Structure 1
């Protein structure tokens, strides 16, 4: 678990700076008793950036018992696109080694409440019509349990297996209100609860000292349709239609808002925010399942290169994505390690459920991730 990159968006404002200081202080306090024994403390950070995507993370890993028990404290902040409020996430986890082969882990994370304000329609003073705005938001509480087995031998072929399951609770809120010089006049407000379960499996095979084959797969299950949860109802659409000269204009305005909400929830609901980086891509909609094979090459004990492909199938009607990435890690002496990865992603949006006549639209994007860690 040590040294694995965790990702998040660059924090902004007093809240983000305060959280970063809080997480650093928590890591230092936790590290004191660990180093009093014989434990190491590892601090790592990672930054990712795409077209409008920004992510930043800070992770502290403390060895509480010699190669047996580890405490992990993490902070992540993510912003999927301009005009969207960032998502802040705090995490605390424990890893416990059971002998030479087994490792069990448990972690809890909390996504702080976020709110995004969107102008659906500007005011029309000449017609005497106020503006129409929407405010959406959500928070999260999650629990992750996992277990891993490593053959831990010295033969020419070794292997490892792991399995995990996470359960996340998402309260989703939305408001529709009129905006004018006098202030805001609420039209509609509602909150819904969405539960998400995500089982995952992983396997890797080590071929000698230089090559490693890996495969990971995950399935995302929702308590409700993620495309309708948190979205506007027929009553809200009817209220919006009365604000426009035509129903077509109303539908167009809501369609743009729906796409924005889906992109925002895509990185929060369908995936764990801390796992979104250049090797996994940026989800543009809630996912149904994903698959990621990888090939790792170690030309030198201090250098490791990886080529990976990630396939994500979004929920029906939202399409799929392909991500081709390469990641290189270099160890600069015993305590320092740095890495960088570059990915190209292509999304096929819509028309993927076999029932839609229109052809899917293709969108290409790039993502770069850099990170480093220091062990002391």
Structure 2
């Protein structure tokens, strides 16, 4: 019944590796380390997770690191987590964790310098960080009958300081800040999961989550009317620059989707990479155990993005192989289709490789 955090690139910073090595070395009867590497054409994600037994079959320390670069040219988002799992008995498990997203900054060119028009170059500097708390409770029937079941409920609360600035600069002068603004966005995410095991070989699963924002997450990342007026008066006469600004907003929404969705440690091939902040998501899955060493899973994820951003579909499959008692490995591939309200669907292929080792 006891399950540690399981999920799955960008380079892992040395301090992240040192942290995991140190935590993994905690003196305990048992420990598990999990790593996943996921990638699409533009994105890279590395996740390192684990748990260490503090009290035999009762209390477990959980820890993790996730690093995500959602798109080429964007800053990598680093997230650390630490928590505790407490087994109340052979059926119930309570979990809690604290998650911290380290500050990051992305600089995006919005308009080229136009010396003949006496217009400097214009860039947008956007940055974010996060502080969150995730609580969950899970139940497993834990028997040996032909039909077994389990369910879990969770609640995540995350605070996101979002900063942005418009900066002008030329080849001969220092950068000048035109606007600077900071906003705080809160996200509450209740979730529910259920699974049904039939005959020991088949497992049916269903998961879903709802995202409740303190304000419109798109408004929190957009230009104010004053900023838009400045852009219109000084820069949008140039078609190339209008394209740069459009690409900036698309990139900004994707960054919000992957970080503000509060599910960074859940991002992998079968869970997809959100292209905008989500309103809710639902994921059914079916798993079949071919033998004691091989199992395969087919899953589908539907995500409704916030109003105006359309919806997304992810169809994926994951195959797991156990190589001896302490080691298991898996691979997953998926196709994601994002369907914006005003444009044609965008298709993305994703792949994940993962491994878990139990000491």
1:263 paired residue number? 254
Deviations 1:50-90, CA, capped at 9 Å, x for gaps: 01010001112101122111111101100000000000000
Q: Give 1:4 shift.
A: 5.3
Map 1:73-84 to 2 at 5 A: 73-84=63-74
CA distance in 2, matches of 1:236, 1:58: 40
Contact 2:111/2:241 (<8 A) preserved: no
Q: Give 1:264 shift.
A: 1.1
State the secondary structure of the residue aligned to 1:113.
Answer: strand
CA distance in 2, matches of 1:49, 1:245: 35
1:375 paired residue number? 358
State the secondary structure of the residue aligned to 1:334.
Answer: coil
CA distance in 2, matches of 1:350, 1:251: 20
Contact 1:41/1:62 (<8 A) preserved: yes
1:19 paired residue number? 16
Unaligned runs of 5+ in 1: 352-359
- The structure-2 alpha-carbon separation of the partners of 1:208 and 1:4, relative to structure 1 and needing over 3 Å to count, comes to farther
1:295 aligns with 2:292: no
1:363 paired residue number? 346
Deviations 1:2-25, CA, capped at 9 Å, x for gaps: 465323x3226xxx2222223322
Contact 2:5/2:62 (<8 A) preserved: no
2:198 paired residue number? 207
Contact 1:191/1:230 (<8 A) preserved: no
Contact 1:11/1:17 (<8 A) preserved: no
1:194 paired residue number? 185
Q: Give 1:244 shift.
A: 2.3
1:357 paired residue number? none
Contact 1:2/1:42 (<8 A) preserved: no
Unaligned runs of 5+ in 2: none
Contact 1:241/1:247 (<8 A) preserved: no
Contact 1:240/1:250 (<8 A) preserved: no
Q: Give 1:248 shift.
A: 7.5
Contact 1:11/1:78 (<8 A) preserved: no
TM value normalised by structure 2: 0.96
2:141 paired residue number? 151
1:129 paired residue number? 119
Aligned residues: 357
CA distance in 2, matches of 1:116, 1:253: 14
TM value normalised by structure 1: 0.92
Contact 1:271/1:287 (<8 A) preserved: no
State the secondary structure of the residue aligned to 1:300.
Answer: coil
Map 1:1-376 to 2 at 5 A: 2=3, 5-7=6-8, 9-11=9-11, 16-28=13-25, 31-32=26-27, 34=28, 39-180=29-170, 181-244=172-235, 246=237, 252-351=243-342, 360-376=343-359
